[in-house]
Chain A
Amino acid sequence: GNSVTQMEGPVTLSEEAFLTINCTYTATGYPSLFWYVQYPGEGLQLLLKATKADDKGSNKGFEATYRKETTSFHLEKGSVQVSDSAVYFCALGYNFNKFYFGSGTKLNVKP
């Protein structure tokens, strides 16, 4: 079957620290992979995506590389800001528009 597993949160970091949020997936075929971010009280915003193996998605200083050999799509940022505090969801898009979401990882960034 298809599934996404994310690291448990919350993750608490100081401003300017390095961020990694782990995401691994199980899928048959060749899904696209996504990171979405959700700020309190809001909907989900697409942060970045990768559509095939070895693609790197990037946006606003965040990066993730589609690794087929390790079935992973880890999210990284070199220097986090307080404004990055949110919940981050890893997702895969597969099988005619059905998206599979991970459980979400809450990030708290302290000044």
Chain B
Amino acid sequence: DTEVTQTPKHLVMGMTNKKSLKCEQHMGHRAMYWYKQKAKKPPELMFVYSYEKLSINESVPSRFSPECPNSSLLNLHLHALQPEDSALYLCASSQVLGGNTEAFFGQGTRLTVV
């Protein structure tokens, strides 16, 4: 199984809503990532978890709150977002082997903030 599963596939939320994005993998990977991708742009790293601990936060606003409850799950909690936060949010996972290993990506959640 080389799948990273993200739910939901699409999400529309108001600026005062609270919602969560979910990501799951069963490849035994101990590194998990959140990326944000705007249209016609490359993915931008947001967070990296390694062994369920946050290891990289790319100065992401606090309205995005990641959580890694166990080695298979990664959540991204959203609160008080702005319309400019509308984007494709991608989850990825990889082995933790010093960086020289590929990341496996999910299909993404298409988020629209209204």
Contacts and interface: CB of A to CB of B under 8 A. Distances in A.
Contact of B104 (A46, A51, A94, A95): A46
Interface size class of B (residues with CB under 8 A): 20 to 34
Nearest to B58: A98
Interface string B1-41: 00010100000000000000000000000010100000011
Interface string B41-75: 11101001010000110000000000000000000
A32 B45 contact: no
Contacts of A31: 99-100
Given A32-B100, A95-B99, A104 B42 contact: yes
B114 interface: no
Contacts, number: 69
Contacts of B110: 41
Nearest to A36: B105
Interface string A81-111: 0000000010001111111011110000000
A97 to B, nearest CB: 5
B107 A93 contact: no
Closest 6 A/B residue pairs (Cβ): A101-B42, A43-B105, A44-B105, A32-B100, A43-B107, A43-B108
Interface of A: 30-32, 34, 36, 41-46, 49, 51, 89, 93-99, 101-104
6 contacts: A31-B100, A32-B100, A93-B99, A97-B33, A98-B48, A101-B42
Given A96-B55, A104-B40, 7 more contacts: A32-B100, A41-B110, A46-B103, A46-B104, A93-B101, A97-B50, A97-B55
